[in-house]
Amino acid sequence: MSEKFEPKIVAFFCNWCTYTAADLAGVSRLKYAPNVRVIRVMCSGRVDPQFVLDAFARGADGVLLGGCHPGDCHYAEGNYKTLRRMRMLERMLKAMGIYDGRFRLEWISGAEGDKVRSVVNDMTEKVRALGPLNLPGKFTEWDKEIEELEAHVNGGSKKEATVHAR
Amino acid sequence: MPDKPKVAFYWCASCGGCEEAVVDLAEDILTVVGAVDIVLWPVAMDFKKADIEARPDKSIVAAFINGAVRTSEQEEWVRMLRKKSQVVVSFGACANSGGIPALANQSRKEDILKYVYEDCPGVDNPDKTRPRIKCEDEGHTLTLPELRSMVRSLDQVIDVDYYLPGCPPTPKLIMAAVQALLSGKLPPKGTVLSPDIALCEECKRKDSKPADLALTEFKRPHQIQIDPEKCLLAQGIVCMGPATRGGCEALCPGGNMACTGCFGPTSRVKDQGAKFVSSVFSNIAPKEEKDIDAVLDGIPDPIGTFYRYGLSKCLLRRKLN
Amino acid sequence: MDKTAQKVWNQAHQQANSGRRTVTIDPITRLEGHGKIEIFLNDQGNVDRAYLQIPELRGFEVFSQGRPAEDMPQITSRICGVCPTAHHMAAAKALDDLYGVKCHPVGRKIRELVYNAFMLEDHALHVYVLGGPDFIVGPDAPKEMRNIVGVIGKVGLDVGKRVISMRRRIREIINYAGGKVIHPVMGLPGGVAKGISASELPKFKEIAKDGLEFAKFTLQVFHDIVLRNDAYVKLITSDTFTHKTYYMGLVDKNNKVNFYDGDVRVVTPEGKEYAKFPIQKYLEHISEHVEPWSYIKFPFLKKVGWNGFVEGGSSGVYAVAPMARLNAADGMATPEAQKAYEEYFKVLGGKPVHHTLANHWARVVEMLQAAERIVELVNDPELTGKEFRTIPTKTPKIGVGVVEAPRGTLIHQYETDENGLIRRANLIVATLNNSARIAMSVDKAAKGLIKGGKVDDGLLNMVEMAFRAYDPCFGCATHTLPGEMPMIVTLRDMKGGVIREIRR
């Protein structure tokens, strides 16, 4: 039962900087936690806040977003757009009960392979400490209250469908 | 003479505004009543659950269901209507995405009960009495229904064929939907019966919407005199237009107030609030965190602003607590 | 099951099955929102106690917390889609108070115009669609006729069309100024969001004129159909539909009825002024009692105290809505309405009137005042002023707003932080004020009408009339978790066994 919790972290890395850095980290044989699933995007500005919510909804315990340092964007302004959106997204996440640490935005240039390692390791530990988010599990849990009724309605059970479950 | 098609209206957790919208068909309602047999409409007509139960499956051409789903009673009803109807139309913002009642998904049920019956100003309740599922009064046993832990959209409980958006849908859209159903010219399942364009497209202020907003400040509507002609976003007022489906013909901007998003998103959007953040906040002016935060402070309640009518359909579904 | 109950059961069973194949328009649903009546019979088949239960609860006060106060007019209007304008306006007035800003005089006139238009069309809805059919068609008419269709049958299709088109046209005024008629967007602290263009005035004047004619016509209909019928007058004044309680309503500085503004005045069951206070002091006068068998709370006069569901001067139970408003005021604010007011009290035996069913008549009297106010306002040259809002400058803290909703006194109170975000909200909604008296009316009517276990549809409809007269809005009254149910009446025997359950 008490298997050690291994956080699942979805990472969106920009093609020109952070993904290159992650590549560099690999080539340099820098070991980092295997908990990230990296998705390569052309620019951090391509990451719609919907992607982040969707990642959580599909079971991510953390979402990491990596882009070029301010001023270094391959598309000039993409990472500023990211920064602005994500500042607002963080506020929304907090208001929905997803607190600091599960979502992180980092600027990592193509040369900073070591930073990929330290950020990933640090985030993995912090999310591990927070414990599982497990939204898919929570969705199932929440819907139990209506599934019981579904069974009643379709199963033709004679038992009265009571709703008294405080 | 063949039977007229049978139509049902039902309401769940709603305010009655959707019913009023049907009444607001005004003279047209006589046309509708002439063309169909209404077999269920609790606000105006007699029905028994048994009447619907006794009908053969799929014998109702269309069921229009409004309101969010909060109690098991409502769940039973909508499931039964699903069985008996060929087509289920989710009617209005509450059925589509939870509506304003879904803002309760940011609170726990216990907190709501405690506030209402104990902490609310003016409550005189030293014994901390609460309404109970079952209680005795003067030797009589009385029961009350239980409330679910969260507010759901209709399609989170049953399969839905079409959606009529709006809080409430406009009489024009309602008539169009009824006519489409009667003519049998049905769009693909899952269609939202309203133009699949952003509200901005039909807003009279559209021409004054700048390509790059470059906002340095958000203003709350009570803080400024609102220009009745100019794009509201350009005036620094949060207007949900860019992330909201058209079809109402921009009624609220016509009333000189911002769109609050009641029509929900277009078909290309999964999460209305997140999409709004994506489209509008990318284009504020500052580049430094501190300055960005100062601009964002102008929107003190992001959830209530971006998910005013759609918290049940937020990808996260409710506040985690 | 005892014999009487068995008999009732058989009858009920027969009746339920005979009605099954007909699609009819049901009387009990001629109200907004939902309720549930439990009637307990004793061994003799008489009513031991009848309960009106409200089986739902929403959470507006709670989920308002943390929201910007200026969003409240739009959020709280979703408490009720039938009377969104009342909530919208009470909220806007609470915002004026919250920000310590006086409503701009032009803005105030626009608000009043919209508000009176709303009052007129909403009362018309009740008179012709919800409550009126009981009289126009008859309380024990076949149930498939006790509805708007029956009303049209009685008064003619032309009149029916006139009602429909008049309501639509009056609502155009709200639509214009409010952006939307269902859930308007106009209300802001210090005024309104949108002015009225002079080019609209000719149309509005036309609507106003026709609206007044329509109100007069409605009074005539009431005269011809209700007052000329002795049986109806007898029914209205019968003890079964009578409770002597306190009455509450807003009055202007001359103690005349005012829907939009004024002080709250309370009169005793004898009709003497008991209290008069600005709304900011409402917590000194109103407390709310909780019962375990209903989600609705029961407000009462704090200084009199809660003494249970009883009438009289020593019980804090009070009433709101048209009859109560007329009792609580010294007269109407407009001439035609005043004439109707005087006749009302003359026929019903002087002030105060305690007959619940008199609400229907009082409602028509109020339609006249609303229509006359609309005429005054559309002819006011200030109405089309180019400025209509005062921008608030003070730091918000606490604000209370009140209006007379069609269904009675409606109070919104908001407490905020210095940024104007809601910390606490309290909503005392019109039907809530009436909740104790409505519960008593249902109990008394059931006891007076159901004897020896004899129950039929006509009798039950008359029990329903006891609450329908209030034009109750249980949607509103239970603004506190979403969840609504159809109206259910359950008849129970001594042991609590179900004799008959009617779901509508």
* Percent with pLDDT over 90 in chain B: 63
What pLDDT sits at residue B2?
Answer: 62
For residue B172, the one-letter residue type is K
Picking from C55, C193, C484, the nearest residue to B226 by CB comes out as C193
Strand intervals (E) in C3-103: 36-41, 47-53
> Under an 8 A CB cutoff, do A95 and B106 touch?
yes
> Under an 8 A CB cutoff, do A95 and B302 touch?
yes
Q: Tell me how long chain A is.
A: 166
> Under an 8 A CB cutoff, do B284 and A57 touch?
no
> Under an 8 A CB cutoff, do B115 and C62 touch?
yes
Distance from CA of B29 to the nearest CA of A (A): 34
Q: Which residues from chain B sit within 8 angstroms of residue C49, using beta carbons?
A: 137-138, 140
Picking from A54, A95, A162, the nearest residue to B270 by CB comes out as A54
B321 contact C CB<8A: no
Q: Which residues from chain B sit within 8 angstroms of residue A96, using beta carbons?
A: 106, 303, 314, 316, 318-320
What's the whole-model pTM score?
0.90
Bridge partner residues of B66 (DSSP): B11, B91
> Under an 8 A CB cutoff, do B104 and C63 touch?
yes
> Under an 8 A CB cutoff, do B71 and A163 touch?
yes
Q: Which residues contact C304 (CB under 8 A, 6 or more apart)?
A: C246, C313, C314, C315, C316
Which residue of chain B comes nearest to C390, CA vs CA? B225
Which chains lie within 8 Å of chain C at 3 or more CB pairs, if any? B
Which residue of chain B comes nearest to C503, CA vs CA? B48
What pLDDT sits at residue C107?
Answer: 97
Picking from B271, B284, B320, the nearest residue to A98 by CB comes out as B320
Comparison of pLDDT for B29 and A92, the residue scoring more:
A92
Candidates B111, B282, B299, partner chain A, best to mutate (most A CBs within 10 A): B282
Which residue of chain B comes nearest to A147, CA vs CA? B157
Picking from B17, B122, B145, the nearest residue to C81 by CB comes out as B17
Phi, psi of C68 (to 5 degrees): -65, 135
> Under an 8 A CB cutoff, do B303 and A92 touch?
yes
B190 contact C CB<8A: no
What is the full per-residue pLDDT of chain C (504 aa) written as tens digits? 445 444 443 444 344 333 222 112 222 334 455 567 778 888 787 888 888 776 556 678 888 999 999 999 999 999 888 889 999 999 999 999 999 999 999 999 999 999 999 999 999 988 887 777 777 777 777 766 666 667 777 777 888 888 889 999 999 999 999 999 999 999 999 999 999 999 999 999 999 999 999 999 999 989 998 899 998 899 899 998 999 999 999 999 999 999 999 999 999 999 999 999 999 999 999 999 988 888 788 999 999 999 999 999 999 999 999 999 999 999 999 999 999 999 999 999 999 999 999 999 999 999 999 999 999 999 999 999 999 999 999 999 999 999 999 999 999 999 999 999 999 999 888 888 998 998 899 889 888 888 877 777 677 777 778 777 777 655 444 443 333 333 455 666 656 666 665 543
Chain-centre distance for alpha carbon C454: 31
A95 contact B CB<8A: yes
> Within 10 A of C312 (CB to CB), how many other CB atoms are there?
14
Mean pLDDT lowest among B280-289, B296-305, C144-153: C144-153
C110 contact B CB<8A: no
> Under an 8 A CB cutoff, do A165 and B273 touch?
no
> Under an 8 A CB cutoff, do B149 and A149 touch?
no
d(CA B133, CA C297): 16
What pLDDT sits at residue B162?
Answer: 97
Q: Which residues from chain B sit within 8 angstroms of residue C67, using beta carbons?
A: 103, 301, 304
d(CA C362, CA C322): 5
Q: Which residues from chain A sit within 8 angstroms of residue B306, using beta carbons?
A: 92
Q: Which residues from chain B sit within 8 angstroms of residue A97, using beta carbons?
A: 319-321
Distance from CA of A16 to the nearest CA of B (A): 20
Bridge partner residues of B112 (DSSP): none
Could you tell me the two tokens for B44? 């105006």
B80 contact C CB<8A: no
Which chains lie within 8 Å of chain A at 3 or more CB pairs, if any? B
What is the three-state SS of A38-77? EEEECCHHHCCHHHHHHHHHCCCCEEEEEECCCCCCCCCC
C185 contact B CB<8A: yes
Q: For the segment B117-150, what is each residue's pLDDT rounded down to a tens digit?
A: 888 888 889 888 888 878 888 878 777 767 788 9
Q: Which residues from chain B sit within 8 angstroms of residue A48, using beta carbons?
A: 274-275, 278
Picking from C19, C24, C68, the nearest residue to B300 by CB comes out as C68
B54 to each of B60, B84, C80, how far by Cα in Å? 12, 9, 32
Candidates C183, C200, C409, partner chain B, best to mutate (most B CBs within 10 A): C183
* Percent with pLDDT over 70 in chain A: 88
Q: Which residues from chain B sit within 8 angstroms of residue C389, using beta carbons?
A: 225
C457 contact B CB<8A: no
Q: Which residues from chain B sit within 8 angstroms of residue A56, using beta carbons?
A: 315-316
Among the listed residues C479, C428, C435, C402, the one whose alpha carbon sits nearest the alpha carbon of residue C64 = C479
d(CA C31, CA C438): 13
B104 contact C CB<8A: yes
Question: On the CB side of B291, how many CA atoms lie within 13 Å of its CA?
Answer: 9
Residues 300-329 of C with CB under 8 A from B: 302, 306
Picking from C70, C183, C483, the nearest residue to B222 by CB comes out as C70
What pLDDT sits at residue C71?
Answer: 97
Mean pLDDT lowest among A20-29, B172-181, C472-481: C472-481
* Percent with pLDDT over 70 in chain B: 97
d(CA A83, CA C262): 51
A165 contact B CB<8A: yes
Q: Is the pLDDT of residue B71 over 90?
A: no
Picking from B146, B283, B306, the nearest residue to A166 by CB comes out as B146
Distance in angstroms between the alpha carbons of the first and the last residue of chain B = 59
B294 contact C CB<8A: no
Buried-exposed string B276-311: b where 16+ CB fall within 10 A, e elsewhere: bbbbbbbbbebeeeeebeebbebbbbbbbbbbbbbb
CA torsion through residues B305, B308, B312, B313, sign: negative
B10 to each of B39, B42, B88, B273, C207, how far by Cα in Å? 10, 7, 11, 28, 33
